[in-house]
Chains A and B, each alone.
Chain A
Amino acid sequence: MELLGLALALFGAALAGGLAGVGSAIGVGIAGESAAGVMSEDPDKFVKCLMLQALPGTQGFYGFIIVFMVMTKLNMFGTPLVVSWLQGLMVFAACMPVALACWFSAISQGKASAAAIQMISKKPDAVGKALVLPAMVETYAVLSLLTSILLLMFGVQLG
């Protein structure tokens, strides 16, 4: 049972990386469908569409950042630390903000991006505003990343 703590911590990290990735994949997919529709009319909008499509992709990276930080915290790149199950649970908890908020926010951001792509198909000059609308959603992914980072760095004491 001495590995239970480590397992819990890794489970949390895996959820952070995995769920955030799932959210981003869905979000980028939704935006991509919209982009393909617009580009079938006007292929010249490729760059603008691509920028908007990429926006919900960042959540996946936020998840990945947390995975990396957990692995560093547990010294996974060297000899892994032995942690109690309670400590493992703490790490698990610290991973949850990113896992949940990135998962759902990426999907919502994908929808906002899809709508913004439709918007630039009608008003190509409004690309500045079109970029800001999906970025509003991202705020909460950023906050969750920050929450997870702070929890990991100051909330969880190992060793």
Chain B
Amino acid sequence: MGVAELKKAELYYHKSLQENVARIVQRSGVCQIIESEDEPDARLMEAQAQLAVCEGQEAHLRYLFRALGSHYTDPVSSIGRMLGEKPVFSLDELGELAQETDLKELASSVKTTESKLNELRIEISQLKVTAGVLSNIKDFPYPLSVLREGTQTLKGVLGTFSIAQLDVFREDLAAYSDETELFVAPQKTKDKDVWVVLLYVRAREQEILELCAKDGMTFVDLPVHISETAAGEASKISDRLVECEHEESAILQGLARTADEWMPALQGMSDYWRILRDRYHALATSAATGSTVKTCFWVPAEAVPALRKQVEAVGPAVAFIASDPTEEDHPPTLLKNNAFNRPAEVLTNLYSPPVYGQRDPTSSMAPFFFLFFGMCLGDAGYAIVIASVLWMLFRKYRKIPSGTKNFMNLFCAGAAATFLYGLVTGSFFGDFIDSFPFMAFLRPLKDALLLVDPLKDPVTILGIALLLGVVHLMFGLGVAAYDEFRRGNYADAAGGKISWILFVLGLLLVGGGSAGKLPSFLYIIGVVMAAAGTGLIFWYAGRGEKNVFLKVGLGLYALYGSTAYLGDILSYSRLLALGLGSAVIGSVINLLGKMIVGVPFIGWLLAILLILGGHVFSLAINLLGAFVHAMRLQYVEFFSKFYTGDGVNFTPLKFQTQYVEVFDEI
């Protein structure tokens, strides 16, 4: 168990077979393509043309999704889709659909509609602006053509003045009293500006406009076609606005219809072109001569025989060679664990998968993760809630993708640990059983199972937490020592790992013995272990030096590293703190519930709401805490002892779909 064995496969085939071969390779879903290192012009050119076609179609699709997506309500929720609720199509069906559909034309027709909609919206906003201006001068009695064209002798100008400036302007205007007429729109109390129309004799236009500008008039232009009276134009505009809004909603309905009609098909096609793009990308990165193509890929050893049979069935012009990876290769990593450990692969991959051929930490980590998760959440009631939610999801969704399923199973196992820990610490939705008389029937059961109550005896739990920390850390060091032994690095194993195990355990025995909690022979064993550990640490740190003083100095410095172990072990005290946290928050919610029951008439309802809401909230926050901290103890304290990661995940060429599920029968 651990990292699956991979083979490096080379596939040689005649160019005419490329479609068939690539299809089989992609359908198998177990081949990670290795890009050819040859010059681009020694690659398969035809596939690159096909690749460009796929990318072109995907560009149209991206546009269509953007334009139509907001007018479409997807019948499948995004959570449902994540849990595998996707319509099923065969690749051939989708292929026919893609051949029949002219995406370019559809995109351009949607584009036309969209630009019509935009024009309409611009018109609407312009009309609204004009209507706003007209509403200010609705009492102006003359036709507005006087502003643009004027009459033979008269012309007008429209604009605004600040209220303070208006009086100044009136005074200045008095000089032209018989050659101008000033219309001032009625003011509302809050207005800072006032609308005016000034009519003047055409002959003096320049002087008067200069005067206006000098006194701070803001000139306002009306659109060209406005020529009737303000009231008349305003009613024309409001008619046009109604028309425009009708047109707009008709276009929107049209878009919604198009979306309803096309989106399901577009989703299928989007996945289809994605599949083809991946396929042609694989081909386009294959090496090619005049008539032969060579595709290389990584494939799990156990999948080789079946794959060989399938590709060789294509025709005699196919050769399949599988070999072991060499020193120069950098194979990706595919984790392979039993059903119990598999969910925890998620955690390994979240950190970083191991380099191919190195140890997979999943199986050593999984039991600890579940235990720590259980201790942090630590409530049987919450565990039942989590398990029920997961059970309902599993029942409703039958085709959950494996990645999501692993993640859900991770929480199933975590919930089991939480349940057990909740039982032995007597925590069921906090102190729910003790808080409410109607739960009294469960009290004897709870008390019978109770081993230790963290609220009354936190020190015992703290001791257990720290002890678990020691076990976890020593286990990590043991694994590291084992790995060093296997590689033949005996000095590293003894001096760098086993020495610390001896040292830490020895000191613990000494401490326990001198406190009188352990039999005295263990004390003696402890002294011997600690001394042996110290000796090894000194030897290992100074083994490269000849100078005795330097040897001692390096040894002391290495011994100073023991503070890190102290910190690491104390870090496990979070198991107590987080467990206590869930218990206390749960109890407080119950307490508040008990207090609020006393409210007349609706007290019981308020209490139910408060207890439900409170526990949901408490569960959410404690679940996050339990997950993060149980994970952190693995990543920071445990992995640092023996694991570096730095691998690359195995990502095979497969039917990678977002909206539909695709199968392929050949």
Contacts and interface: CB of A to CB of B under 8 A. Distances in A.
A156 interface: no
Contact of A136 (B577, B588, B636): B636
Nearest to B635: A132
Contact of A65 (B580, B591, B632, B635): B580
B518 interface: no
B320 interface: no
A136 B631 CA distance: 11
Contact of A149 (B580, B625, B628, B629): B580
A127 interface: yes
Nearest to B587: A68
Nearest to A67: B588
B584 interface: yes
Contact of B631 (A61, A131, A145): A131
B624 A128 contact: no
B237 to A, nearest CB: 37
B570 interface: yes
Interface residues of B, number: 30
B577 A135 contact: no
Given A142-B577, A146-B577, A132 B621 contact: no
A40 B465 CA distance: 42
A132 B636 contact: yes
B632 A145 contact: no
Given A54-B621, A142-B574, A146-B462, A77 B581 contact: no
A139 B568 CA distance: 11
A135 B627 CA distance: 11
Contacts, number: 71
Contacts of A68: 584, 587-588
B375 to A, nearest CB: 13
Given A77-B591, A127-B350, A149-B458, A143 B584 contact: no
Contact of B347 (A55, A128, A153): A128
A76 B591 CA distance: 13
B258 interface: no
Contacts of B591: 77
B554 interface: no
A57 interface: yes
A132 B621 CA distance: 16
Given A142-B574, A143-B573, A146-B462, A65 B585 contact: yes
B595 to A, nearest CB: 9
B573, B591, B636 interface centre (most CB from chain A within 10 Å): B573
Contacts of A57: 621
A62 B576 CA distance: 13
B628 A55 contact: yes
Contact of A142 (B573, B584, B621, B624): B573
A69 interface: yes
B571 interface: yes
B351 interface: yes
A58 interface: yes
Contacts of A149: 458, 577, 580
B347 A58 contact: no
Given A58-B621, A135-B628, A149-B458, A129 B351 contact: yes
Interface in B612-636: 621, 624-625, 628-629, 631-632, 635-636
Contacts of A69: 584
Contacts of B585: 61, 64-65
Interface string A107-146: 0000000000000000000011101100110110011011
Interface in B374-408: none
Main secondary structure of the interface of B (DSSP, over half): helix
B621 A146 contact: no
B103 interface: no
B206 to A, nearest CB: 52
A154 B581 CA distance: 19
B578 interface: yes
Contacts of B577: 62, 142, 145-146, 149
A3 interface: no
A158 interface: no
Given A58-B621, A142-B577, A128 B570 contact: no
A86 interface: no
Interface string A50-62: 0100110110011
Contacts of B581: 58, 61-62, 65, 145
Interface in B525-582: 570-571, 573-574, 576-578, 580-581
B269 to A, nearest CB: 22
B631 A132 contact: yes
A63 B87 CA distance: 50
Interface in A25-76: 51, 54-55, 57-58, 61-62, 64-65, 68-69
B551 to A, nearest CB: 35
A139 B636 CA distance: 12
A146 B571 contact: no
B573 A128 contact: no
A146 B576 contact: yes
A64 B586 CA distance: 12
A131 B628 contact: yes
B349, B629, B636 interface centre (most CB from chain A within 10 Å): B629
Contacts of A146: 462, 573, 576-577
Given A61-B585, A77-B591, A149-B580, A139 B631 contact: no
A51 B624 contact: yes
Contacts of A65: 580-581, 584-585
A61 B621 contact: yes
A64 B584 CA distance: 9
Nearest to B570: A143
12 contacts: A54-B621, A58-B621, A58-B625, A61-B621, A68-B588, A77-B591, A128-B347, A128-B351, A129-B351, A135-B628, A136-B636, A143-B570
Interface of B: 347, 349-351, 458-459, 462, 570-571, 573-574, 576-578, 580-581, 584-585, 587-588, 591, 621, 624-625, 628-629, 631-632, 635-636
Given A64-B585, A146-B462, A149-B580, 17 more contacts: A51-B624, A54-B621, A58-B621, A62-B581, A65-B580, A68-B584, A69-B584, A128-B350, A128-B631, A129-B635, A131-B628, A132-B631, A132-B636, A135-B629, A135-B631, A142-B574, A145-B577
